[in-house]
């Protein structure tokens, strides 16, 4: 039998629980009521998620005597914009959301990031709850308090750290995810094994292919990923050090997403899968990690139906130098130096600004 698992995120007075399991949306009233000063919430969601899950959430809240108003934004990355942020904040003000109220973010990473940022800046900070509805949001973006929107000049360049008051990761909702979105979210699950837990990576090699059909295994994968993230965030909330490990594969991945125009050619988690393989390629070429690791990583992503090589991206891609230039625009550039996450082996990632540019060009096919 599956039960609800609770992973605490230990951040002093900003501590909160991540609850993971089935039926959490159906039981949202009981989970949210203790946080409310009055029986009322404002829900921010997107049109796709609203059609699938909003009636269940509002019914669950109503059953607990909690009134809910909802704003459904267009689905998709383009919603993480100044325009939609402004619209959301103005809607929250029009709903008379007060400082003591709770905003509920119901959706994937886009909604969680935008609604969290709106909560951070409304009345200098209102509390919010994350109800993540994608695998990617459950294992990564809903936990840890990174909120924000995109600038025309780059992803996530505008934002704030604002921790949620609770995260309810209902694994039942993952059944409604399109196959490709589920797989892309899995890229972030595998990332945890690769960055810090070789035994978890080995477990995923064995169990990854059945996660979609095995709820207990899926819950274990989500809970283990969240526990690893909670541990890192508790050590380094604002990314002064270790938290950067969570960006394994992301400097490559963001450059590839930018090179493909943030389009359906490459989803974020797919870019992360290719980026993780490239990070292990680069680590092996620099003599840091075993030579067999890159093919083991690539084989696992391929077994999961994920791209793992640059050649897996459909259409023509930019050359090595253009990709390196895009990598240089990443937020992780410090004093002009590229900072990357490399590895001494599976489960042993580390942060470095000593990147061998010849080896980097070579792994990018240059
Ligand atoms: N997604 C990376 C982080 O939360 O730090």
275 token code pair: 């980026």
Degrees to nearest 5, angle at CA 239 with 237 and 241: 110
Percent of the chain with pLDDT strictly greater than 90:
92
Q: How confident is the model at residue 1 (pLDDT cuts 50, 70, 90)?
A: very low
Domain boundary (129, 145, 176) is at 176
Q: What is the pLDDT of residues 197-206, one digit of tens each?
A: 999 999 999 9
Tell me, yes or no, if 124 is annotated catalytic. yes
Residue 337's pLDDT is 77
Between 41 and 155, residue with greater pLDDT: 41
User: Alpha carbon of 30 to those of 38, 97, 196: distances in Å?
Assistant: 14, 21, 35
Bin 228: left if φ > 0, else alpha if -120 < ψ < 50, else beta.
alpha
User: Alpha carbon of 72 to those of 110, 229, 253, 294: distances in Å?
Assistant: 12, 29, 29, 42
Evaluate: CB of 332 within 6 angstroms of ligand 1: no
Cβ-based neighbour number of residue 322 at 10 Å: 14
Domain count of the fold of the chain = 2
192 and 334 together in one domain = yes
228 and 115 together in one domain = no
Q: What is the pLDDT of residues 278-329, one digit of tens each?
A: 999 999 999 999 999 999 999 999 999 999 999 999 998 999 999 999 998 7
**Among 53, 183, 254, 300, the one annotated catalytic:** 254
158 and 199 together in one domain = no
Evaluate: CB of 140 within 6 angstroms of ligand 1: yes
Residue 2's pLDDT is 61
Q: Which of 262, 263, 274 is nearest to 310 (CA)?
A: 274
Residue 334 in this model has a pLDDT that exceeds 70: no
117 and 243 together in one domain = no
Bin 214: left if φ > 0, else alpha if -120 < ψ < 50, else beta.
beta
270 and 140 together in one domain = no
**Among 53, 80, 127, 146, the one annotated catalytic:** 146
Percent of the chain with pLDDT strictly greater than 70:
98
Q: What is the pLDDT of residues 120-167, one digit of tens each?
A: 999 999 999 999 999 999 999 999 999 999 998 888 999 999 999 999
144 CA to middle of ligand 1, Å?
7
End-to-end CA distance of the chain: 52
Tell me, yes or no, if 237 is annotated catalytic. no
**CA 141/CA 149 separation, integer angstroms:** 13
70 token code pair: 């909802």
Whether the CB-CB separation of 112 and 146 falls below 8 Å is answered with no
Tell me, yes or no, if 188 is annotated catalytic. yes
Q: Name which residue sits closest to atom 2 of ligand 1, judged by CA.
A: 246
49 and 90 together in one domain = yes
Among 160, 161, 195, 243, name the best residue to mutate to test ligand 1's pocket (greatest count of ligand atoms within 8 A of Cβ).
Answer: 243
Give CA torsion, residues 40, 43, 49, 51, to 10 deg. 50
206 CA to middle of ligand 1, Å?
26
Among 134, 141, 161, 232, name the best residue to mutate to test ligand 1's pocket (greatest count of ligand atoms within 8 A of Cβ).
Answer: 141
The 10 Å CB-count burial string (b at 16+, else e) for 135-170 is: bbbbbbbbbbbbbbbbeeeebeebbebbbbbbbbbb
Closest atom, ligand 1, to C-alpha of 143: 4
Residue 332's pLDDT is 60
Closest atom, ligand 1, to C-alpha of 239: 5
Residue 37 in this model has a pLDDT that exceeds 80: yes
Q: What is the mean pLDDT of residues 211-228?
A: 97
Evaluate: CB of 243 within 6 angstroms of ligand 1: yes
Domain boundary (176, 203, 234) is at 176
Evaluate: CB of 144 within 6 angstroms of ligand 1: yes
User: Alpha carbon of 190 to those of 106, 139, 317: distances in Å?
Assistant: 24, 10, 25
168 and 34 together in one domain = yes
Q: What is the CATH number of the domain that holds 135?
A: 3.40.50.1970
Tell me, yes or no, if 19 is annotated catalytic. no
Q: What is the pLDDT of residues 86-106, one digit of tens each?
A: 999 999 999 999 999 999 999
**Among 84, 188, 257, 270, the one annotated catalytic:** 188
147 CA to middle of ligand 1, Å?
10
64 CA to middle of ligand 1, Å?
33
Q: Residue 356, Cα to own-chain centre: how many angstroms? A: 29
- Domain span at 187: 179-363
Beta bridge partners of residue 103, listed in sequence order? 42, 128
275 and 316 together in one domain = yes
The pairing of beta strand 154-161 with beta strand 349-352 = unpaired
**CA 100/CA 38 separation, integer angstroms:** 9
Closest atom, ligand 1, to C-alpha of 188: 1
The pairing of beta strand 146-151 with beta strand 154-161 = antiparallel
- For residue 137, the 8-state DSSP code is I
Residue 329's pLDDT is 75
Tell me, yes or no, if 229 is annotated catalytic. yes
**CA 42/CA 131 separation, integer angstroms:** 13
Q: What is the pLDDT of residues 178-197, one digit of tens each?
A: 999 999 999 999 999 999 99
Cβ-based neighbour number of residue 13 at 10 Å: 5
Degrees to nearest 5, angle at CA 138 with 70 and 73: 25
147 and 161 together in one domain = yes
């Amino acid at each position: 039998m599956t039960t609800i698992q609770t992973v605490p995120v230990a951040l002093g007075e900003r501590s909160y629980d991540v609850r993971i399991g089935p039926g959490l949306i159906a039981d949202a009233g009981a989970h949210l009521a203790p946080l409310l000063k009055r029986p009322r919430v404002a829900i921010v969601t997107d049109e796709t998620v609203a059609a699938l899950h909003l009636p269940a959430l509002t019914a669950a809240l109503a059953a607990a005597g909690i009134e809910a108003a909802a704003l459904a934004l267009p689905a998709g990355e383009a919603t993480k914009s100044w325009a939609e942020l402004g619209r959301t904040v103005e809607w929250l003000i029009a709903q008379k959301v007060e400082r003591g109220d709770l905003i509920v973010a119901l959706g994937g990473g886009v909604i969680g990031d935008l609604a969290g940022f709106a909560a951070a800046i409304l009345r200098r900070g209102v509390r919010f709850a994350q109800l993540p509805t994608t695998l990617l949001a459950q294992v990564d973006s809903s936990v840890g308090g990174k909120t924000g929107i995109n600038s025309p000049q780059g992803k996530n360049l505008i934002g704030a750290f604002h921790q949620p008051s609770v995260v309810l990761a209902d694994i039942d909702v993952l059944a409604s995810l399109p196959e490709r979105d589920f797989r892309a979210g899995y890229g972030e699950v595998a990332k945890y094994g690769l960055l810090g837990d070789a035994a978890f990576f080995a477990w995923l090699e064995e169990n990854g292919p059945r996660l979609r059909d095995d709820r207990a295994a899926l819950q274990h994968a989500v809970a283990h990923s969240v526990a690893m993230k909670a541990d890192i965030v508790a050590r380094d909330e604002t990314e002064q050090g270790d938290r950067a490990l969570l960006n394994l594969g992301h400097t490559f991945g963001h450059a590839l997403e930018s090179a493909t125009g943030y389009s359906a050619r490459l989803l974020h988690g797919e870019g992360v899968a290719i980026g993780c393989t490239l990070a292990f390629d680069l680590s092996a070429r620099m003599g840091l990690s075993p030579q067999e690791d890159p093919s083991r990583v690539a084989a696992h992503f391929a077994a999961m139906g994920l791209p793992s090589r640059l050649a897996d991206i459909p259409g023509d891609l930019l050359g090595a130098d253009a990709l390196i230039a895009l990598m240089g625009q990443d937020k992780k550039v410090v004093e002009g130096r590229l900072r990357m996450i490399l590895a001494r082996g599976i489960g042993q990632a580390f942060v470095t600004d000593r990147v061998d540019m010849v080896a980097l060009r070579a792994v990018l096919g240059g």
